[in-house]
Structure 1
Amino acid sequence: MACSHPWKIRPATREDVPSIVWLTQVLAEYENEPRSMKIGEKEMLRDGFGEKQYFHVLVAEWTSDDGPVLNSIPVDPEKPSTSMPHNDRIVGHALYFYTYSTWEGKCLHMEDLCVREQYRNRGIGTALMQECAKVACREGCARMIWQVLDWNTRAAELYERIGGKILKEWLTIRLIQPELGNFASGETKP
């Protein structure tokens, strides 16, 4: 059966890294964290496409010659990071990596899910998530996990509709630099 969508989901290549970085910055701005992104193309290439692969990425590539803003990258002088050159046919991505549960075994963690605003509400995000789920099943994962910001109720409702469970009793703990280094070196005492 031929696909009737004007996009395709495929594994990312090294050539897609500028688009992945661009979309990740767009996501950071959407999540009100524009200055939180500390890595760029060099780190993404090294960590996702180098000798040791820490993550994988699926991209949504627009295959039609028609689109809401195809060949028109928005330029916002207030947000220059969202105006960097990239392949404008990459309209979304899902970044994932594997984790392990001592209770259940292998898990797939979806770190980022992002679709360009002009291409939302077309099923692209759902298709990216579904492809991640296929990868998880193919790899024998017991579960797929991801996070959503508490104010993003629209996304949370979608996740619940597809069968996702929001775990309110578990809190995410984050230890970042310099505290991470301080604790590792013994400078921070419990």
Structure 2
Amino acid sequence: MPATDFVLRPATSDDCETLLALITGLAEYEKLTHLVEATPEKLREALFGPRPHAEAVLVEVPGTQGPQAVGFALFFHNFSTFLAKPGLYLEDLYVDPAWRGHGLGKVLLKHLAALAVERGCGRFEWSVLDWNTPSIDFYRAMGADVMPDWRICRVTGDALAKLGATE
């Protein structure tokens, strides 16, 4: 399939079932299905509710029953205090394994980079699992620096509740 036989479009609230299927595919690839708590309803509220927290784009290819979503990128704005500018943070990017190698991941990354430029962002960032060599190689080929001296810190669940508790 040439890279021109696709449609890239913003996700809508009607796409939440599709997004969840793609998120599940990503979780399977990363061997993290046990962490998936997302539901179409939770996605609808988080992405399209009164206070959206993130955005998503879908990449679709022609299918026998109409367009078929085969990939997505979910992203949101963060902020750089050093640059005093917003940034664009890519939370997840996924292309169905059957559609890898057709340039769709590159299309998604380039789209988000252009969006970051259009929105005046000083950075476009994301994380990658250290064992995911194919993705690391792909990101480096796209011009990304893999930051060896930064580590992600995360507080969730009971630890988050304890940290956020008022005394």
Category of TM-score, reference length = shorter chain: over 0.9
Relative to its length, the structure with more helix (as a share) is 2
Task: State which structure, 1 or 2, has the greater radius of gyration over its C-alpha atoms.
Answer: 1
* Aligned pairs (5 A) from 1:172-183: 172-183=152-163
2:71 is the alignment partner of 1:92? yes
- Superposition CA RMSD, Å: 1.7
Q: Distance in 1 between matches of 2:7 and 2:22?
A: 17
Moved over 3 A (4+): none
Distance in 1 separating the partners of 2:151 and 2:41: 32
- Which residue does 1:75 correspond to in 2? none
Paired-residue identity, %: 29
C-alpha deviation, 1:186, in angstroms: 5.2
Instruction: Give 2:27's aligned amino acid.
Output: A
- For residues 86-121 of structure 1, give each alpha carbon's deviation from its aligned partner in whole angstroms, at most 9, with x where no partner exists: x97011000000000101221000001011111111
Q: Does 1:9 align with 2:5?
A: no
The amino acid across from 1:126 in the alignment is: K
Aligned to 1:46: 45
Q: Distance in 2 between matches of 1:13 and 1:6?
A: 21
The CA deviation string for residues 22-80 of structure 1, in whole angstroms up to 9 with x for no partner, is 10011011101111011211110001011111000010011x34xxxx66xxxxxxxxx
* Corresponding residue SS for 2:87: strand
TM-score (norm 2): 0.93
Q: Which moved more, 1:3-12 or 1:106-115?
A: 3-12
Counterparts of 1:179 and 1:138, CA distance in 2: 38
Task: Provide the rounded CA distance (Å) in 2 between the counterparts of 1:124 and 1:56.
Answer: 18
Name the aligned partner's letter for residue 31 of structure 2. Answer: N
1:22 corresponds to? 21
Q: Does residue 1:58 correspond to 2:57, yes or no?
A: yes
Q: Match of 1:139? A: 119
Paired with 1:11 and 1:108, the residues of 2 have a C-alpha distance of 16
In the other structure, the counterpart of 1:81 is: none
Question: Counterparts of 2:27 and 2:98 in 1: how far apart (Å)?
Answer: 17
Instruction: State the 1:4 CA deviation.
Output: 6.2
Within 5 A, what are the aligned runs for 1:155-174? 155-174=135-154
